């Protein structure tokens, strides 16, 4: 089946997760993406080791999560021959995605000003930690620092009076990669109308602030963070523990459902008619006492009993799961949000997939997880290099060939 970016050619000069994730999304949408790695491979190939995930050439599921469906070429961009190959790739490319810092791009002649002048139809897309302006524009910025720590999320999304949140690696990266992929798609659409490429930028810091947009507004009007679940903004938007120690999260935003929740879920007609609790402003003013009442009722009953009441009252709710709980969740599996993906050594790994689906939920793994330089020879041949030229470049270490 045809995909929306069929025919689009992309060059991916990124590392770790946010940039590679962007190019992976483009590849899943049909783009032909060539990933450029330095000799020895990009540092993201071994990130999985920090989490106990194997990271070899034949089995590297962490790296594959963000790099499958790409062809992989190893170039030494400091060597004239490597620069010439890059030049040929960019001459035929529609999109260039990079997560290199501005200074490095300038030194390599890969900054927007240089490439935009040479290739006016090229969509030049950059992802970094803090943005292209301001005092910190050249700082390194993983999502742990630029997304979580700088934005306030690491402190304000925790339970009050506890330690800062321990962020999972690449959470902010994945959010940001989706934004940049959408920006690239918009730039390609504009190019179809105008014939001109453009510069598309996103930063981890900007993404975090957008994700926290509701707090950015509310904190200016007395909404103080971090909070405690015993005194939430809204007692009906909170987590509650059931008799056997399991947790449920409930969400009631519709004013009309306040008395329904109190009568049908908490089991009290008296509370449902009490003006201190049955509408949002009053419930917020009496948050601590109402939360204690609701918590006591949940604690007296099993999770299944409380789910039964919530379903009957048509109240939005969900079990509070661990990640391991959802690996075989039928909702995730049937929508291909989680897929069993084959690896080069014959093993399979359950892997999360980018969320946007077009026409079908199917994901076509054209290239799987690429080994370092797996497609160097193939891509060089497509660019017109002879076998002898490829051999000489490999001997000079301007390129690296895969012999697996």
pLDDT digit string (tens) for 248-277? 999 999 999 999 999 999 999 999 999 999
- What are the pLDDT digits (tens) for 296-320? 999 999 999 999 999 999 999 999 9
Mean per-residue pLDDT for 212-220? 96
- What are the pLDDT digits (tens) for 175-205? 999 999 999 999 999 999 999 999 999 999 9
Per-state percent for the chain, helix, strand, coil, to nearest 5: 45, 15, 40
- Shortest CA distance to 285 belongs to which of 296, 274, 298, 295? 274
For 51, the token pair is 């989490």
Given a cut of 90, whether residue 358 has pLDDT beyond it is no
For 227, the token pair is 């909070």
Residue 156 has a pLDDT of 95
Average pLDDT, the chain: 94
Cα 285 from chain centroid (whole Å): 37
Given a cut of 80, whether residue 365 has pLDDT beyond it is no
Given a cut of 70, whether residue 16 has pLDDT beyond it is yes
Give the span between the Cα atoms of 361 and 124, in whole angstroms.
29
User: Which residues are tagged catalytic?
Assistant: 173
Cα 181 from chain centroid (whole Å): 11
Given a cut of 70, whether residue 294 has pLDDT beyond it is yes
SS3 342: strand
């Amino acid at each position: 089946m045809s995909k929306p970016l069929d025919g689009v050619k992309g060059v991916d000069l990124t590392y770790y997760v946010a940039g590679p994730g962007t190019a992976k999304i483009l590849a899943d949408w049909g783009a032909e993406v060539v990933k450029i790695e330095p000799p020895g491979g990009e540092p993201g190939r071994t990130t999985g080791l920090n989490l106990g995930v194997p990271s070899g050439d034949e089995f590297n599921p962490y790296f594959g999560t963000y790099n499958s469906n790409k062809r992989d070429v190893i170039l030494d961009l400091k060597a004239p021959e490597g620069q010439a190959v890059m030049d040929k790739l960019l001459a035929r490319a529609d999109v260039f995605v990079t997560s290199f810092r501005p200074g490095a791009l300038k030194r390599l002649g890969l900054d927007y000003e240089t490439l935009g002048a040479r290739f006016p139809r090229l969509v030049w897309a950059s992802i970094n930690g803090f943005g292209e302006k301001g005092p910190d524009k050249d700082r390194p910025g993983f999502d742990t620092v630029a997304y979580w720590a700088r934005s306030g999320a690491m402190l304000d999304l925790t339970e009050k009076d506890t330690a800062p949140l321990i962020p999972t690696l690449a959470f902010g990266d994945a959010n940001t990669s989706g934004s940049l992929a959408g920006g690239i798609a918009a730039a390609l659409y504009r190019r179809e109308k105008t014939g001109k490429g453009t510069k598309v930028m996103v930063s981890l810091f900007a993404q975090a602030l957008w994700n926290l947009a509701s707090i950015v507004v509310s904190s200016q009007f007395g909404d103080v963070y971090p909070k405690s679940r015993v005194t939430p903004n809204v007692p009906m938007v909170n987590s509650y523990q059931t008799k056997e120690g399991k947790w449920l999260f409930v969400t009631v935003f519709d004013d009309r459902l306040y008395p329904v929740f109190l009568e049908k879920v908490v089991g009290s007609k008296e509370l449902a008619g009490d003006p201190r609790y049955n509408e949002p402003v009053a419930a917020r003013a009496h948050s601590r006492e109402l939360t204690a009442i609701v918590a006591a009722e949940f604690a007296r009953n099993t999770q299944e009993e409380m789910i039964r009441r919530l379903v009957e009252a048509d109240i939005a709710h969900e079990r509070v799961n661990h990640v391991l709980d959802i690996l075989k969740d039928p909702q995730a599996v049937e929508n291909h949000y989680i897929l069993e993906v084959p690896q080069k050594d014959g093993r399979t790994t359950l892997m999360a997939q980018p969320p946007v689906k077009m026409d079908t939920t199917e994901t076509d793994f054209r290239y799987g997880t690429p080994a370092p330089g797996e497609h160097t020879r193939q891509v060089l041949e497509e660019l017109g290099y002879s076998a002898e030229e490829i051999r000489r470049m490999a001997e000079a270490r301007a390129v690296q060939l895969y012999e697996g």
